[in-house]
């Protein structure tokens, strides 16, 4: 009637709002300028009419759509699938805008919708009978931005362990190595170089390290690669791998080698941690250790820590918050010596950590101890002193703090209260 030819195909790339707001220092004006208005309108109109119109919003779909159209094989089932993807894209786009504008409000929003984009289907979940997938939340970063250079595809459990290992190794500025098993560190070391750091980490618990995940904060060189190759490992994650190191490690067919491009970028407090419960989600700020100012730490015992003990206490405290509660870490200034994780009583975690150290042939004489929460009774302090620890770092806050401090004084131990708990579940 109006002489307008029917539209067969609508392909739209929306203004890059998500990428714009992910840049550091972006202004409100820049963000608003990148809110697309016409694009979503066209997409919705085309998607509504999918029986007669093909709508494409993802460049990854261009090739197969064009190939099918040229062959005359693009059917209504294909168009419906593309329409669903188009509505999902517009919905995610609008949610991102709403979340960005709402972030200026104080407190948690009354309504919040998370825009998730599937990265991949996983072979299975935590166990083989569970199906699973990996989804990216927001822009590419951290674990969602890794590149796999070699090995089998990553599993659900691999992703969990990589996340924990990556978070822990980023606590350290100097060369550091972390070994993680079942989302708990079983060894952490710092040193003059990565080989030195890894050797210290491995010595903590060489039995548990078998089948573990290693994260380092420097490019992997040949000397470290040769050492890594001696042990069965699931994953090695690093900022980069030197060519000679790759030549060594790729001899192990199934070993997963991962590079994280934005390795040095630590998670911010504003990053959400999300856990599912039956019927809902628990959402909290990320527990960012960098917010702590150790000038606020209080020495509560008669004896002050020595300089060497202070260095060891800071190291132990950085590791402790990445251990499942109840968490206890015996450490020197450059390595973990014994780690007690996930026990229901704190004193049992102390005993477990001490037993682990003894089992690895490591002496705890002159060591320090980190505890992720307060000691409810003096028994944990007595056990630490008996094991050989000379200083303790913990949050404090127990109704029996005075009793705990008295125990430390009786053993001539130094004790530091940080005032901040670091439970991890």
Q: How far, CA to CA in Å, does 50 sit from each of 11, 64, 70? A: 13, 17, 18
Active site residue 150: no
Asked if the peptide bond before residue 326 counts as cis, ω within 30 degrees of 0, the response is yes
Locate the DSSP E strands across 52-182: 54-56, 116-122, 132-137, 147-150, 176-181
Phi and psi torsions of 68, nearest 5°: -70, -40
3-state SS, residue 47: helix
322 within 8 A of 164, measured Cβ to Cβ: yes
Distance CA 297, CA 317 (A): 12
Q: Which residue, 211, 208, 216, is CA-closest to 157?
A: 211
Active site residue 425: no
Q: Which residue, 231, 222, 263, 272, is CA-closest to 112?
A: 272
Q: How many CB atoms lie within 10 A of CB 9?
A: 13
Catalytic member of 48, 265, 275, 302: 48
DSSP-derived secondary structure letter, 278: T
| 211 HSE (CA, 13 A, CB side) | 6
Phi and psi torsions of 336, nearest 5°: -85, 150
Q: How many CB atoms lie within 10 A of CB 293?
A: 7
Catalytic member of 68, 85, 140, 182: 182
3-state SS, residue 193: coil
CA–CA–CA angle 27, 30, 35 (5° rounding): 130
Task: Return the active site residues.
Answer: 48, 182
């Amino acid at each position: 009637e109006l002489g307008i030819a029917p539209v067969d195909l609508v392909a739209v790339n929306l203004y890059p709002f998500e990428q714009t707001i992910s840049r550091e220092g972006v202004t409100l004006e820049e963000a608003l300028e990148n809110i697309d208005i016409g694009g979503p309108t066209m997409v919705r109109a085309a998607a509504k009419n999918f029986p007669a119109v093909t709508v494409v919003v993802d460049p990854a779909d261009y090739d197969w759509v064009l190939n099918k159209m040229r062959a005359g094989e693009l059917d209504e089932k294909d168009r419906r699938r593309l329409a669903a993807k188009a509505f999902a894209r517009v919905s995610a786009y609008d949610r991102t805008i709403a979340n960005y504008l709402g972030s200026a409000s104080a407190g948690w929003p009354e309504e919040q919708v998370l825009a998730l984009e599937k990265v991949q289907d996983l072979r299975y979940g935590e166990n083989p009978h569970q199906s699973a997938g990996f989804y990216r939340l927001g822009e590419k970063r951290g674990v969602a931005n890794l590149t796999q250079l070699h090995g089998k595809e990553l599993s659900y459990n691999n992703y969990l362990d990589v996340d924990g290992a990556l978070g822990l190794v980023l606590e350290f500025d100097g060369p550091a190595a972390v070994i993680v098993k079942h989302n708990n560190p079983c060894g952490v070391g710092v040193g003059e170089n990565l080989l030195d750091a890894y050797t210290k980490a491995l010595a903590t618990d060489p039995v548990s390290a078998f089948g573990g995940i290693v994260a380092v904060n420097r490019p992997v060189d040949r000397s470290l690669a040769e050492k890594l190759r001696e042990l069965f490992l699931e994953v090695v994650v690093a900022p980069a791998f030197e060519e000679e190191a790759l030549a060594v490690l790729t001899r192990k067919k199934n070993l997963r080698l991962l590079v994280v491009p934005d390795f040095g970028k630590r998670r911010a407090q504003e990053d959400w941690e999300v856990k599912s419960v039956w019927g809902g989600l628990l959402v909290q700020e990320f527990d960012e250790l960098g917010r702590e100012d150790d000038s606020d730490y209080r020495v509560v015992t008669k004896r002050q820590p020595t300089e060497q003990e202070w260095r060891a206490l800071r190291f132990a405290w950085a590791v402790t918050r990445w251990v499942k509660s109840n968490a206890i870490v015996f450490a020197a200034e450059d390595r973990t010596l014994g780690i007690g994780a996930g026990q229901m009583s704190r004193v049992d975690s102390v005993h477990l950590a001490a037993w682990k150290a003894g089992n690895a042939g490591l002496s705890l004489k002159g060591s320090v101890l980190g505890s992720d929460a307060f000691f409810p009774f003096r028994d944990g302090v007595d056990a630490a002193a008996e094991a050989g620890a000379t200083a303790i770092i913990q949050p404090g806050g127990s109704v029996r703090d005075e009793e705990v401090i008295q125990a430390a004084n009786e053993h001539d131990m130094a004790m530091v209260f940080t005032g901040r708990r670091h439970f991890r579940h």
